[in-house]
Amino acid sequence: MKYIKIVAIALPLILGYQACKDKEVKEDPIPEEEVVVVETIEYKTFEEQRIAFGGGENQTVEKTFTMHPQERNIDNIKMFVILDCPTGGCNIWDVYANIKVKDKAADKWYEIGRYITPYGVNTSQLEKGIEIDVTDFKSLLQGDVDLRARIETWGADGWNLTVNFEVTTGVPDYQYYAVSPVLMYDQWSTSGVPYGKEHAYDLERTITIPSNAQETALRTVISGWGHATPADSDGRPCAEWCFRTHDVKIDGENVFSHTMGPIGCPENVIQPQRGNWEPDRAGWCPGMAVPVRTDIFSESQAGKTFIFEYEYEEWTTDGGTASGQGGAFYATSSFVIVKSNEPITSATVVE
């Protein structure tokens, strides 16, 4: 449904057309101007989708929806997650949840947004729901789109889930995006990378950027889980509570960093909740989206190959727990996004 139509404007076409240096004449020149309509279009996907555990319900649901017909001229895409309580009430716990889109060519599911459910209440205090910017995946959010919704709830109560998208057309930073997975340790809260002990998870990749890339960025979503000890001097166990800074290494050098610190749990719009929602976690809060961490390279990296490595701040567990929940984990997803004003292929990522 198109519910906001702002204006139609004439703009220089930015599709990558340019005169060849040798003044070669093209048979079908691209017109110098085209009309760009600026409008926001709503696409409804999951609607009051029951997600629960037991009683014939599932924690994970997959469905196909029809969305925007093309990626060109998409300025941004916002996803809104709405949680309603089924008869008998919402699940009482703050649990890990995400939405994924399927890359049909690669036959893989990519996490486009992660959030943590509020304790036992709905999201009605938010006008549109929990908001997540998913523009990076615009090449996949077009036409017939396969979506997967997952909420790690362990009760038959669960949630009723609605997911809406707002696609705003206009003049984007770049007309074409392409996305490749780098790390996808994000299935469940405890299927992330074990923290503070030896593990077999590979955190290094070799990435090659296409030659026509005009911008390259990394998109990372990370949340800590567990109450492993020893706790920090302020009593915070890992990895839900302990504040840490992780590094993104490029060719062995620290280029980007991610601080897993407070993001403002006491100021959460969804309040009060029916549990321990106010204390600051390490990089997330009950009833909020887990932040997207976007790292843009200072140069386009076009045609280059580099070594990516994710490095968690050093800490060693003693094997104990402050809550009865064993282990510390960092659920981590990271993608490389390449952008251009001409059609572009995805970066190549090799383990």
The SS3 of residue 207 is strand
pLDDT, position 8 = 41
The whole-number pLDDT of residue 34 equals 62
Supply 169's token pair: 């057309």
Residue 160 has pLDDT above 60, yes or no: yes
What does the block give as tokens for 275?
Answer: 């549990």
Interval 333-349: pLDDT, tens: 999 999 999 999 999 99
**CA–CA gap between residue 156 and residue 320 (Å, rounded):** 31
Q: What is the pLDDT of residues 135-151, one digit of tens each?
A: 999 999 999 999 999 99
Candidate list 71, 94, 111, 136, residue with the active-site label: 94
- At 250, give phi and psi (nearest 5°): -120, 120
pTM (2 decimals)? 0.90
Q: Choosing from 111, 136, 157, 240, which is the catalytic residue?
A: 240
Active site residue 152: yes
104-139: pLDDT as tens digits = 999 999 999 999 999 999 999 999 999 999 999 999
As a whole number, mean pLDDT of residues 4-15 equals 40
The pLDDT tens digits of the residues spanning 28-82 come to: 444 445 667 899 999 999 999 999 999 899 999 999 999 999 888 899 999 999 9
Other Cβ atoms closer than 10 A to 340: 22
226 φ/ψ angles, rounded to the nearest 5 degrees: 105, 165
Cβ 334 vs Cβ 227: under 8 Å: no
For 170-220, write each residue's pLDDT tens digit: 999 999 999 999 999 999 999 899 999 999 999 999 999 999 999 999 999
- Domains of the chain, by residue range, sit at 2-350
For the domain made up of 2-350, give the CATH fold: Jelly Rolls (2.60.120)
Q: Tens digit of pLDDT for each residue in 289-324? A: 999 999 999 999 999 999 999 999 999 999 999 998
β partners of residue 7: 38
- pLDDT over 70 (residue 11): no
Q: Given a cut of 60, is residue 350 above it in pLDDT?
A: yes
Q: Are 207 and 245 in contact (CB under 8 A)?
A: no
Of these residues, 71, 103, 152, 186, which one is catalytic?
A: 152
Q: What is the pLDDT of residue 36?
A: 74
Eight-state DSSP code of residue 321: B
pLDDT of residue 249: 98
* Residue 240 among the catalytic residues: yes
CA atoms of 179 and 110, how far apart (whole Å): 9
